[in-house]
Amino acid sequence: MLNFSRLKTALVIGTCVLGALLCLPNLLPAPASWLPWRTIHLGLDLRGGSYLLLEVDMNAVIRERLDSLADAARTGLRRAGVARFLVTPLPAQNRIAARIDEPDKLDAAAAALRELIAANSPGGGARADLELDTAADGSFTITLLPAALKERANAAVQQSIEIVRRRIDETGVVDPQIARQGENRIVVQLPGIEDPNRIKQLLGKTARMTFRMVAEDVNPNVSVPPPGVDFLPDESYAGAKIAVRRRVDVDGANLTDARAGQNSQTGDWVVNFTFDSIGSRRFADISRANVGHRFAIVLDDKVISAPVIREAITGGRGQISGHFDAKSATDLSVLLRAGALPAPLTVVEERSVGPELGADAIRAGAWSLAVGLVLVVVFMAVFYGLFGWFANIALLANLVLLIAVLSLFEATLTLPGMAGILLTLGMAVDANILINERIREEVRNGRAPLNAMETGFRRAFATIVDSNATAFLAHIMLFFFGAGPVRGFAVTITVGIATSMFTATMLVRLFMVRWYAANRQQPLPV
Amino acid sequence: MSLRTLLRPLLRPMLRIVPDNTRIHFMRGRYLGLMTSAILSTASVILFFYPGLNLGIDFAGGIVMEARTPGPADFTKLRLAMAAEGVRQSGVQRFGDESSVAVRLEAQPTEAGTQQMVAKVRAALEQAQPGTRVVRTDAVGASVSAELFQKGMLALGISMLMILFYIWFRFEWQFAVGAVVTLILDVTKAIGFLALTRFEFDLVMIGAILTILGYSTNDKVVVYDRMRENLRKYKTMPLRDLIDLSINETLNRTLGTSMTVFLAALPLALFGGSALSGFAWVMLFGIVVGTSSSIFIAAPILLFLGENRLRRDTAAPGKPAAKAPA
């Protein structure tokens, strides 16, 4: 017991000092940029802000994929000389079905579809994404394979995260955090944003913009649109519809820039955009070939503007003049700059807290922490005397180390996390109570002071490990299965249990050894 | 007088929770303890089904919004505006001071519906009393709440299993069974307490229950540890006396730790604010239950299970039990 080596002493003290140093960044600004200045982050429930959980609509991803596949199949069949066929996407079964009504062209059709599959398989068909099945009656099905489906979903979520980040960055929110959660969810944390309405609106649009020709020869008031034409609602006139060709001439993905501005003549709000080189060329070709005709600018299946082409537009620049005000023009330009989402996003969970509620929570947490700490310290002093004070010093060291570890990992402190710190403090002294009671018993059993301390520590230690291990396990589970602020609770408690094992045994042991070395003749104050 | 002599009396403990020679025959009260526990747990199970738990929005889904009106809140106006937007009026309540409004609505059938409802409430508030600030919004859709509930239950279940295996691994199986049965009884009581007090059952409450689980296990482990030690030390002492002895020997520690955890949780219950006070009250209740169950439930179960197993060489009744040299 007494041979507490110098090295060990230095290590114990050193750990505590290091812990104290690691706590500093929470109190002071970084003195130099090269210093690793890591701090605890306040959770949104304490600092105020918004938490949004978004879900990527996977059905839409699949539907879109099947639609484009069906389009490709139609083109391929037509090119192969098949004229009478019916291709239908079946999203529920992840496949498209093709019925060929010309029995003599079945082979040509099969070849065309096989070619389509080869073209759609990355890596030269080494690993197929699609599977072609032929039925006896001359119908084909092309199925999206599960692996490909998963990959596609994965890519859609990744891309969504990127777009979400760009859109949020455009709004100027400071320090947003965007992360994937699980298969198809995205967590967005916006510190300091009390009303996330604008962000929700920005994220609620897929913002897929397309430039297509208006089918001027089609009456949009008939009940079923002819093949290749969509009837889309006209944003300018409520209830009106415009017949628009399904073929996309230029896609919004070919935009390089979009800015809100005001038309110099009318003063109306407009969005000015610039195409990239591919977009410029296509737009020039289309406009040259269609002077005098109308084209439609379609955003998320709504026509925002359908102007008449007066002359060929070759500069790669254009202007959208819908019925905008300053805000909607800015929002549209943000959406166009950030790009289209691969699939619609739905907000499935929202939690917003105003900064003053957060401040209230911090105050309540800090008060509870202070009062609880004082109560525990007084209890230990009254019931355990000097050894209780040793435990109290260890308790403070535990608090310091806990904060140090949380800072080191840049953990997030939440209100339940503060409760966790407090409970940790209450439970940490358990180890000292165990040790003290044990030493007292050993003294009563007639052991000499040194022997009693030695035995007390040794015997109590197994119990301390056992009792902490179970609590540790329970809270690790809470961390893995919990969500939101309650994970902060699990974090502080698990870290607190770990640090308390060190302070309550090693540090207190050091104190006792030092004390005994100076007071050999006295009976133990237990 | 020097400072040293002044401080001298502080060196020694001023108080003891129970005197060192306390020898309470706890096992005499084992039937009473088990009966009380059984009755309380049965009542809790009944309370769980009727009236049931007050599920918070984490688990039930729905919308909770808190707003501050610029002046005193005009509820007639607010309710009218809500009705105009198609929001259920009874969801609008006063909350705390006169300018605080709480809006509480159940989950909408679709996720988008929930979001639309949030927007409607915002619009209605702004329309009724311009300048009203929404200071808190919690909107949880049906799919998320179902998932959170599932995960919470999973965390509880797996923790219980891990505790079972840990104790099984460290002690004889009788101890593990005794501990887990007691834990189940503890948890049912905590749930009964929740049902009775109408505290909202949410993720933080799962945290509270897990902490009670961890704390209660910790308590049982300490008593069990002592029993195991005494089983080796007093080879012939009847199990019943041995259990009593072990409980008494650890009584100061059991009560001491309960008190420190209790003292730590108490300020949270008193000034932790609405978010934490429910959590803290459940903790306080759990500490009392967990401590008493170590003595009155876990130990008797061990006595029943272990009577002829843990102590094969028990002296026949009537023969004086010789105390082995320690």
- The pLDDT confidence band at residue A127, using thresholds 50, 70 and 90, is low
DSSP for A388-407 reads HHHHHHHHHHHHHHHHHHHH
pLDDT score recorded for residue A51:
93
* Average pLDDT of span A206-227: 86
* Domain assignment of residue A217, yes or no: yes
Spatial separation of the C-alpha atoms in residues A525 and B7, rounded to whole Å: 13
Q: Tokens in use for A4? A: 């507490």
- Name every residue whose Cβ is closer than 8 Å to that of residue A341 and which is 6 or more positions away in sequence: A159, A160, A163, A164, A205, A206, A207, A208
Mutate to test the interface with B, among A346, A470, A491, A512 (most CBs of B within 10 A): A470
* pLDDT at position B315 over 60: no
ipTM for the predicted complex comes to 0.89
Percent helix, strand and coil across chain A, each rounded to 5? 55, 20, 25
Q: Is B243 exposed, middle or buried (0-12, 13-18, 19+ CB in 10 A)?
A: buried
pLDDT score recorded for residue A126:
53
pLDDT score recorded for residue B20:
82
- What's the length of chain B? 326
- The pLDDT confidence band at residue B167, using thresholds 50, 70 and 90, is confident
* Domain assignment of residue A343, yes or no: no
Q: Looking at beta carbons, which residues of chain B come within 8 Å of A474? A: 159, 162-163, 210-211, 213-214, 217
Q: Are residues A364 and A295 in the same domain?
A: no
* Domain assignment of residue A334, yes or no: no
Mutate to test the interface with B, among A455, A486, A487, A494 (most CBs of B within 10 A): A486
pLDDT score recorded for residue B322:
43
pLDDT tens string A283-311: 899 889 999 999 999 988 889 888 888 88
Number of domains in chain A: 3
Which residue among A350, A388, A468 sits closest to B137, beta carbon to beta carbon?
A: A350
Between chain A and chain B, the number of residue pairs with CB atoms below 8 A apart is 255
pLDDT score recorded for residue A121:
67
Q: Which of A276, A303, A320 is the last residue of a domain?
A: A320
Q: Are residues A15 and A85 in the same domain?
A: no
* Average pLDDT of span B25-43: 92
* Domain assignment of residue A326, yes or no: no
Q: Are residues A380 and A486 in the same domain?
A: yes
| Cα distances (angstroms) measured from residue B164 to each of A384, B182, B307 | 33, 11, 21
Q: Are residues A64 and A38 in the same domain?
A: no
Q: Are residues A431 and A302 in the same domain?
A: no
- Cβ–Cβ under 8 Å, residues A263 and A341: no
* Domain assignment of residue A477, yes or no: yes
The answer to whether the Cβ–Cβ distance between B225 and A353 falls below 8 Å is: no
* Domain assignment of residue A14, yes or no: yes
Q: Which of A292, A320, A348 is the last residue of a domain?
A: A320
List the one residue out of B86, B67, B85 whose CA is nearest residue B129. B67
pTM of the shown model: 0.83
* Domain assignment of residue A453, yes or no: yes
* Average pLDDT of span B230-247: 90
Tell me the residue range of the domain where A510 lies.
6-44+356-518
| Cα distances (angstroms) measured from residue B15 to each of A437, B24, B246 | 13, 20, 22
In B263-282, the residues whose Cβ lies within 8 Å of chain A are: 263-268, 270-273, 275-276, 279-280
* Domain assignment of residue A457, yes or no: yes
Query: Chain B: residue nearest A491 by CA?
Result: B207
- The pLDDT confidence band at residue A182, using thresholds 50, 70 and 90, is confident
* pLDDT at position B47 over 80: yes
Q: Are residues A135 and A79 in the same domain?
A: yes
The answer to whether the Cβ–Cβ distance between B167 and A426 falls below 8 Å is: no
pLDDT score recorded for residue B112:
84
pLDDT tens string A72-100: 888 888 888 888 888 888 888 888 988 88
pLDDT score recorded for residue A2:
59
| Cα distances (angstroms) measured from residue B195 to each of A5, B44, B265, B289 | 55, 8, 21, 16
pLDDT tens string A391-444: 999 999 999 999 999 999 999 999 999 999 999 988 899 999 999 999 999 998
Q: Tokens in use for A424? A: 């940790």
- Which residue has 């996003």 as its token pair? A345
Q: Are residues A99 and A33 in the same domain?
A: no
Percent of chain A scored above 90 by pLDDT?
A: 31
- The pLDDT confidence band at residue B325, using thresholds 50, 70 and 90, is very low
* Average pLDDT of span B202-213: 88
Q: Which of A150, A172, A187 is the last residue of a domain?
A: A150
Higher pLDDT, B137 or B93: B137
Which residue among A426, A441, A469 sits closest to B261, beta carbon to beta carbon?
A: A426
Higher pLDDT, A223 or A415: A415
pLDDT score recorded for residue B166:
87
- Cβ–Cβ under 8 Å, residues A321 and A234: no
pLDDT mean across residues, chain B = 86
Q: Are residues A368 and A479 in the same domain?
A: yes
To the nearest whole Å, the CA of B215 is away from the closest chain A CA by 7
Whichever domain contains A104, its CATH number is 3.30.1240
Q: Are residues A379 and A513 in the same domain?
A: yes
pLDDT tens string A14-66: 999 999 999 989 888 888 788 888 899 898 989 999 999 999 988 888 888 88
Which of A338-347, A469-478, B41-50 has the weakest average pLDDT? A469-478
Q: Looking at beta carbons, which residues of chain B come within 8 Å of A444? A: 20
Spatial separation of the C-alpha atoms in residues A133 and A143, rounded to whole Å: 8
pLDDT tens string A147-163: 888 888 888 999 999 99
Q: Are residues A233 and A125 in the same domain?
A: no
pLDDT score recorded for residue B258:
93
Whichever domain contains A285, its CATH number is 3.30.1360.200
Q: Are residues A363 and A489 in the same domain?
A: yes
Whichever domain contains A500, its CATH number is 1.20.1640.10
* pLDDT at position B262 over 80: yes
Q: Are residues A16 and A71 in the same domain?
A: no
- The pLDDT confidence band at residue B1, using thresholds 50, 70 and 90, is low
User: What is the torsion angle, in degrees rounded to the nearest 10, for the CA atoms of residue B35, residue B39, residue B42 and residue B43?
Assistant: -170
* pLDDT at position B198 over 60: yes
pLDDT tens string B127-149: 888 989 999 999 998 888 998 89
